[in-house]
Structure 1
Amino acid sequence: MPNPFNDQIIEEFRVNKGRMGGPFEGARLILLTTTGARTGTPHTAPVGYLPDGGDRILVIASAGGAPRHPDWYRNLLAHPEVTVESGAFTYQARAEALTGEERDQAFARAVEAEPGWAAYQEKTDRVIPVVALYEIARGGPPNINAGSFGEAIKVVHDAFRRELTQIRKEMSSGTSTLGAQLRVNCLTFCQGLHNHHTGEDLGMFPLIADRHPKAAPALARLREEHERIAALAEDLRRAVTAEDTDRDTARAEVERLTAELEAHLTYEEQQLIPLLEATS
């Protein structure tokens, strides 16, 4: 059955590569496409998610505290292979409903970060499911939602900017201690940044160097910046994993990383996007 509200969110999400406005500004959203349990047809729904390390994300089948599970949850129980659109990337994933203590710990983390999840649970007699979505590995480069190599850089960079903005917002609110989910958010961000820069160092930069020899000084600077950013990310990792770290200490590390990373992303876009667009 058509859902005009969801359809509007889906359209805005796709047009803006995951950047949302209005009530969803800054929210961590994905588009989740499942296969209908009875019909076998694809169904796409906007769903909030939680970072959960490098190999999976978590989604919560709250349905706003409704008495029945959402359709997408029933679909993925019948057909666990799903499609995830993150804004920057589209990939296939394997869905697995968490059970027992693992489910309870994940839900507790979610509630600590956003008490609204607890309000949904209080409204219903069902135990609200938590589902892990594991990306299915595939050969070749990632499927970036962009029409050119140059646009791909901007799309991926903007996704990092949005997530870092959200982490900075989370660091500026709440108690003086760091919540478990906020720690996970920071660690997941650092791992994603490491993966991105490794891919550039091993893949994109050598390709550009081969086709555009005059870009050598810019590429050398970018590689040096990768090393500095990696050191700052490691400082943040140590800060959020230390048992006695307070929020102010972690926030200071986030701000240091933000300043260095934003300068790096801006310089890279200025130097490489024109070259990649010319190559395309």
Structure 2
Amino acid sequence: MPFGVRVMRKVSSTRAFARVAPHVVPAMDRAVHRLSRGKVLLSARMLPGVVLTARGAKSGLPRVTPLACMPEPAGTWLLVGSNFGRPGHPAWTGNLLAHPDAEISWRGESFAVSARMLTGEERAEAWRAALVFWPPYATYQARIEREIRLFRLTRTPPAA
């Protein structure tokens, strides 16, 4: 494993990172993604990432959120609502629960997706895979009482 990844795993598990990262990382990602016309996410240098555009749960307005993701062999993506190990669910998870039809930008390409929150054994299996993929998720879960939400995004065919 590259040295940078080992360091980032250690740093991202700290409470200090959980306090600072939610304010810094998404803002930087949004700016770089916009400037690169959807081709670059800074955080994707450590973990694969998408830019999710989902309608707000209450407002119905488009909400743009850069997120780490776990690409799956079936051509789907797993999103982990860890919120950096902070107590509340991240807003984007509530948006997907209210409006599961969304859009992602993935490696410079944008397309429609449908999101589904995982439960039961399907969630347990995905959680095990997520912990192998990014072990700090276990630290995040250990410091909070809520169960971290997991979503699977599936590409939807373009509208005719």
Q: Residue 54 of structure 1 aligns to a residue in which SS?
A: coil
1:42 matched to 2:62: yes
Q: Distance in 1 between matches of 2:127 and 2:39?
A: 24
Shift of 1:5: 4.9
Choose which of 24, 33, 40 in structure 2 pairs with 1:19. 40
Shift of 1:62: 0.5
Who is 1:135 aligned against? 155
Greater RCO, 1 or 2 (C-alpha within 8 Å, sep 6+): 2
Choose which of 54, 76, 81 in structure 1 pairs with 2:74. 54
CA contact (8 A) 1:13 1:87 kept: no
Instruction: Give the alignment's TM-score, normalised by structure 2.
Output: 0.77
Q: Distance in 1 between matches of 2:29 and 2:139?
A: 23
Structure 2 portions without partners, runs of 5+? 1-22
Change (3 A) 1:20 1:81: closer
Shift of 1:123: 1.1
Shift of 1:26: 4.0
Q: Distance in 2 between matches of 1:131 and 1:29?
A: 14
1:71 matched to 2:91: yes
CA contact (8 A) 1:61 1:129 kept: yes
Shift of 1:18: 3.5
The range that moved more, 107-116 or 12-21, is 12-21
1:107-159 Cα shifts (integer Å, max 9, x gaps): 1111122210101100111111110001111269xxxxxxxxxxxxxxxxxxx
Structure with max Cα Rg: 1
Q: Which amino acid aligns with 2:56?
A: G
Q: Distance in 2 between matches of 1:14 and 1:103?
A: 33
Shift of 1:43: 0.7
Structure 1 portions without partners, runs of 5+? 141-280
The structure with the greater share of residues assigned to strand is 2
CA contact (8 A) 2:44 2:68 kept: no
Who is 1:101 aligned against? 121
CA contact (8 A) 1:28 1:48 kept: yes
Q: Distance in 1 between matches of 2:94 and 2:110?
A: 22
Q: Residue 69 of structure 1 aligns to a residue in which SS?
A: coil
1:115 matched to 2:135: yes
Q: Which amino acid aligns with 2:95?
A: N
Q: Distance in 1 between matches of 2:120 and 2:158?
A: 31
Change (3 A) 1:105 1:80: same
Q: Residue 117 of structure 1 aligns to a residue in which SS?
A: helix
The structure with the greater share of residues assigned to helix is 1
Shift of 1:55: 3.5
CA contact (8 A) 2:141 2:147 kept: yes
Q: Residue 88 of structure 2 aligns to a residue in which SS?
A: coil
Shift of 1:4: 6.5
Shift of 1:92: 0.8
CA contact (8 A) 1:35 1:41 kept: yes
- Pairwise mapping of residues 117-266 of structure 1 onto structure 2 (< 5 A)? 117-138=137-158
